[in-house]
Structure 1
Amino acid sequence: MLINDINEIENNKNKGFLSILLGAYVVSIVLGLPLVFRDRYFDILVFKYYYYCFCTIVMILLLLLYFIVKKFKYRKSINYVKKIKESISKFTFLDRCIIIYWFIAFISTISSNYVYEAFWGNEGRFTGLFLITLYVLSYFCVSRFYIYKNWYLDLFLLGGAVVCLFGISDYFNMDILHFKVGMVPEQKDIFTSTIGNINTYTSYVGILTAISSVLFSKEERPIKRLFYYFCMVISFFAIIMGVSDNAYLSLMILFGFMPLYLFNKKIGVQRYLVIIASFFTVIQCISWINNAFSDSVVGIDSAFKIILGFKYLHLMLILLWSVILVWIFITKKKQTATKDLGNTIRFVWLGILGFGVIVMMYILYDCNIAGNDEKYSVVKNYLLINDDWGTNRGYIWRNAIESYNKLPFWNKLIGYGPETFGILLLKVTANNKYHQLFDSAHNEYLHTLITVGFLGLVTYISIIITFIKDCFKYKKNNHYIIAIAFGVICYITQATVNLSVPIVTPLLWLLMGIGSTKKVMYYN
């Protein structure tokens, strides 16, 4: 009996140490990584890369030290070989996909003509084998030893709100942090907050928007619901004022797929309408701000400008808010807000989404293949995919696909080497008409195809799909985990026109680790 009591005490101590270590690591990434900086924007990518590497390596070393000490202390009673075999036997499909992805990246690196560059990623945005290895180790450490608690995600949102507020202040050209002192004038508007490039910034804010929106839609406690609503509204302002077209991709996916999760109950429909009304209210407020402070703000020059030009928006919002308030009052009085609606409405919404996809495919065909682009004059620049499309993305995508097709079969399978995209494309894009150097495809999937090949791309997509499926299948009753899944969905959507950098991508791998943890505590 005494021996059992001693073992239980030791196990609790072990869990306590691991909880503190992994908890501190999670906080250092979700709160520290978005906020840390050294020399303003001049080395923001490099410094955040070093910061992430430092935090992850320290965490791994302390974890190893812990197990070494534990092995020394209990050298007669602990069979680590047996424990490792047991752990491997319990690997999930997601775990195996991640290991295969790392192995493909490893083979791609040692097979590359540029092994040093493929390992360190120094010819691109640092996503070489070394950083990929840290991502994978971070995932396994967090998913195995981290004890999830809700307040970690709240801290993530709180830190994100600070980042958003700095970004909003930059929209007013306040430059509170003096980051833009000494910058070339024409580049000042494409960098913001403590994140840097506006595309990276809106990718990060898109995750915040998704998580805060889902948590607001499911939270029952008034104070917490108010906190999530605040974070959501701040993120709406930030993602629009980030002035990046990438943002609307996240929002389209979020607003399009949330009803499939929420529309099984009346309260879910109500909360969704509140989210939509709040979003368009934010757009109306930004329109008023632009008119009142036209000489002081950056201004909107993106797809949101179309909505801002709708002169009856304020009348639509008055009507929408009136309907919402009346409906909430009626359902609250009759206490029917939590009534189960079944799956009918969700199936109807799924049909609407399917119809919308078909319409969009036809429009793209009509604009790009049938040659009727003049019919879409208002949004022609977004629909007509040519070399100039998406700030020259069309040009680099075309050249990337052509370069991939010329690769030997082996390189088609395992790639040219992690983060060697710029090396491969240097010759074919030299002296291009845009006078730019292209070290990234600005499409994470095309970039992955070139660098780690077809096998790497298939495995990477399998990782994402499996994680999202697991969240909705095994942890569907934990809306915090579902919120993480929506955050990942928004990230991978923007990734179609964005790039992987150690500013936001570490958060993706960390969120997947958190969402896959076996030790979930359902309290704050």
Structure 2
Amino acid sequence: MSDNTKLKISNGLNEDKYSVKSKFVNFFLLAMFTLFPLFYTDYYYNIRHDKYYFFLVVTAVLVLMIGAVAITNSDSQSGTKDKAESVPWCKKLSFTDYAFGAFILVCTVSTVFSQDPADAFLGLSGRNNGLLLMIFYAVVYFLITRFFCFKNYVFVALAGCSIAIYLLDILNCFYIDPLGMFASLTDEQTITNFTSTIGNKNLMSSFICVVMPVTVAFSVISKNRNHRIVYHISSAFGYMALMTADSYSGILGLGTVFAVLLIWFSRSVARLKRFFLATTIMLLSGKILRLFSFFIGDKSKGISEFQSLLVYSKIIWAAIALFAIITAILFFADSKIPDKTLPLAVPIIIGSIFVACIIAMLFAVYYFSVIDTKTNIGFLKSFLRFNDSWGTHRGYMWIRSFYIFGDFSLYNKLFGCGPDTFATVFEPYFEGLKHYGDSSTNCAHNEYINYLITTGIFGLASYLSIIFGALKGAIKSASKNPIAIAFAVSVISYAVQAVVNLAQPITTPLFIIFIALCEAVARKQKTTE
């Protein structure tokens, strides 16, 4: 079987047992990776609801199709009975499975005993993140983890669709609107909020954080040259879209991913050369964006100061030259000594530097927020000085959220006020938001604080356990099955940007899918072993 159709980068996911149920799961993934991001009905007016209902419908269709196969027994395998069938069902469940079950149980209790169970069930006062959506997430998770089988076309299609999403975002930044999406918006809405077919600029950054890590990782680990070209193109457009999305959450998520991938690939010269090639291409794409901006007269919505440094600064040419030289050296070294493995000390040193940088950043935030609150630190104030105004007044919402949690009863501390009912308990602080130009909010703009308030300690703990369990299984499997790292970095990227972003039915379903894919690879690897 050719490299286009059979997975050769790993023996962990064989395609010889590609069942009907697996086909249905891959069709579902194909729909979520291509149609879902592009789908809308009335421009930006209903875009969240459009994607919410799209996800519910395609999930329901998947359940019906797999259910029909199970009822008719048309997917039975010939030959001897699988040894796993004799194992009790409870022993087949992983840590992540139990964590997901616990999360749904906590959300159910939180919904039933909330002030408005109907609101908590549907997420009417929030962003549709009620119990119903959580149940659908659990269904998708369990179906993917049980029936996923790797096929290249699914992820090549994801890369291809993402190029279209990224290109729309880039064009929209320069007021080029091929879909006519801006026609019904005010000038202020066009400039500050909406882009591509994703919606809010923060959600666009969230989409980039989910998809771009996958394409970068596959551009390194894929053995098919044509596929790698597609992944490189997607990553380059993703980098340009990240520059124009005008949101620091994307920089936070992708910055973490590049550090993780550098550490992960640092022992293999063959993979390290491809990683530096991918990085060089992306940095060059930023300069291509600058050239595009120049030819249309620099008329754009504007790019944040940090992104402007990466696009407009001449210093970046030095970085591009450095990465290009490193890439050339690595290609030369790999040609002379194929499959060369570097000492274990290399990733340890890189990882130590990364950890030291995180500690230094945290100390800087503490220093300029508590010790030195007067020194003018320019645009770094947005990052390093935490107060009510920090992060487009996220500081105000986070601090008041902890006030609310402190006033909660013991029950509410454990189970929260009900899924996606943050607005209900935050209403006393709406008046203070007017100082920042807002009259209300329905989320904390930090997923973890939001889950703490709405589902309590138990809900947040189970949610974090889902992420931890999926990442643990994927990283453990990645040494034998490299595609696991492509799924893991997507989860890492989303989880990091979620510190300053929000859960919603536009990009969070994709995050849940990659959590499921992490667990699916780990489950398959465990079965194989």
**Shared topology, TM-score over 0.5?**
yes
Residues 337, 19 of structure 1: alpha-carbon distance in 2 compared, 3 angstrom cutoff: same
Q: Is the 8 A contact 1:37 1:47 kept in 2?
A: yes
Superposed displacement of residue 312, structure 1: 3.0
Residues 426, 131 of structure 1: alpha-carbon distance in 2 compared, 3 angstrom cutoff: same
Q: What secondary structure is seen at the aligned counterpart in 2 of 1:363? A: helix
| Structure 1 segment 43-62 matched on structure 2, within 5 A | 43-62=46-65
2:21 and 2:343 map into 1 onto residues whose CA distance is 42
1:21 aligns with 2:13: no
Amino acid in structure 2 at the alignment position of 1:138? V
Q: Which residue of 2 aligns with 1:480?
A: 483
2:62 and 2:417 map into 1 onto residues whose CA distance is 31
Residues 21-30 or 444-453, more deviating? 21-30
Residues 429-438 or 161-170, more deviating? 429-438
1:468 and 1:373 map into 2 onto residues whose CA distance is 41
Q: What secondary structure is seen at the aligned counterpart in 1 of 2:53? A: helix
| Structure 1 segment 45-444 matched on structure 2, within 5 A | 45-70=48-73, 86-189=88-191, 190-308=193-311, 310-325=313-328, 327-328=329-330, 330-334=332-336, 336-372=337-373, 374=375, 376-430=377-431, 432-433=434-435, 434-444=437-447
1:416 and 1:479 map into 2 onto residues whose CA distance is 41
1:301 and 1:378 map into 2 onto residues whose CA distance is 10
> What do the CA deviations read for 1:385-428 (whole angstroms, capped 9, x no partner)?
12222112111111111111111011001110000001111122
Q: Is the 8 A contact 1:148 1:519 kept in 2?
A: no
Q: What secondary structure is seen at the aligned counterpart in 1 of 2:168? A: helix
Q: Which residue of 1 aligns with 2:450?
A: 447
Unaligned runs of 5+ residues in structure 2 are: 1-14, 77-83
Residues 180, 309 of structure 1: alpha-carbon distance in 2 compared, 3 angstrom cutoff: closer
Superposed displacement of residue 25, structure 1: 1.7
Residues 15, 279 of structure 1: alpha-carbon distance in 2 compared, 3 angstrom cutoff: closer
Q: What secondary structure is seen at the aligned counterpart in 2 of 1:516? A: helix
Residues 435, 331 of structure 1: alpha-carbon distance in 2 compared, 3 angstrom cutoff: closer
> What do the CA deviations read for 1:71-120 (whole angstroms, capped 9, x no partner)?
9x99xxxxxxx979833331011101110111011111111111110011
Residues 265, 407 of structure 1: alpha-carbon distance in 2 compared, 3 angstrom cutoff: same
Superposed displacement of residue 356, structure 1: 0.9
1:488 and 1:319 map into 2 onto residues whose CA distance is 30
Q: What secondary structure is seen at the aligned counterpart in 1 of 2:93? A: coil
Residues 358-367 or 372-381, more deviating? 372-381
2:410 and 2:305 map into 1 onto residues whose CA distance is 40
Residues 381, 270 of structure 1: alpha-carbon distance in 2 compared, 3 angstrom cutoff: same
1:83 and 1:272 map into 2 onto residues whose CA distance is 41
Residues 490-499 or 381-390, more deviating? 381-390
Superposed displacement of residue 180, structure 1: 1.0
1:32 and 1:447 map into 2 onto residues whose CA distance is 29
Amino acid in structure 2 at the alignment position of 1:211? V
TM-score (normalizing by structure 2): 0.89
Amino acid in structure 1 at the alignment position of 2:156? D
2:18 and 2:294 map into 1 onto residues whose CA distance is 56
Q: Which residue of 1 aligns with 2:9?
A: none
Unaligned runs of 5+ residues in structure 1 are: 1-11, 75-81
How many residues of Structure 1 are paired with residues of Structure 2 in the alignment? 499
Q: Is the 8 A contact 2:273 2:331 kept in 1?
A: no
Q: Detail structure 1 runs of 4+ shifted over 6 Å in the superposition.
A: 12-15, 82-85
1:249 and 1:44 map into 2 onto residues whose CA distance is 25
Q: Is the 8 A contact 2:471 2:518 kept in 1?
A: no
Q: Is the 8 A contact 1:148 1:514 kept in 2?
A: no
Residues 333, 17 of structure 1: alpha-carbon distance in 2 compared, 3 angstrom cutoff: closer
Residues 230, 337 of structure 1: alpha-carbon distance in 2 compared, 3 angstrom cutoff: farther
Residues 400, 333 of structure 1: alpha-carbon distance in 2 compared, 3 angstrom cutoff: closer
Larger Rg: 1
1:293 and 1:418 map into 2 onto residues whose CA distance is 46
TM-score (normalizing by structure 1): 0.89
> What do the CA deviations read for 1:288-313 (whole angstroms, capped 9, x no partner)?
44344344322312421234453333
1:275 and 1:323 map into 2 onto residues whose CA distance is 12
Amino acid in structure 2 at the alignment position of 1:393? R
Residues 58, 221 of structure 1: alpha-carbon distance in 2 compared, 3 angstrom cutoff: closer
> What do the CA deviations read for 1:180-212 (whole angstroms, capped 9, x no partner)?
112011111321111111111111112222111
Superposed displacement of residue 37, structure 1: 0.7
Superposed displacement of residue 315, structure 1: 4.0
Superposed displacement of residue 130, structure 1: 0.6
Superposed displacement of residue 134, structure 1: 0.5
Superposed displacement of residue 251, structure 1: 2.0
Q: 2:470 aligns with which of 461, 467, 472?
A: 467
Q: Is the 8 A contact 2:269 2:330 kept in 1?
A: no
Q: Which residue of 2 aligns with 1:7?
A: none
> What do the CA deviations read for 1:151-193 (whole angstroms, capped 9, x no partner)?
2222222221221121122122111111111201111132111
Amino acid in structure 2 at the alignment position of 1:365? Y
Residues 263, 423 of structure 1: alpha-carbon distance in 2 compared, 3 angstrom cutoff: same
Q: Which residue of 2 aligns with 1:507?
A: 510
Amino acid in structure 2 at the alignment position of 1:313? I
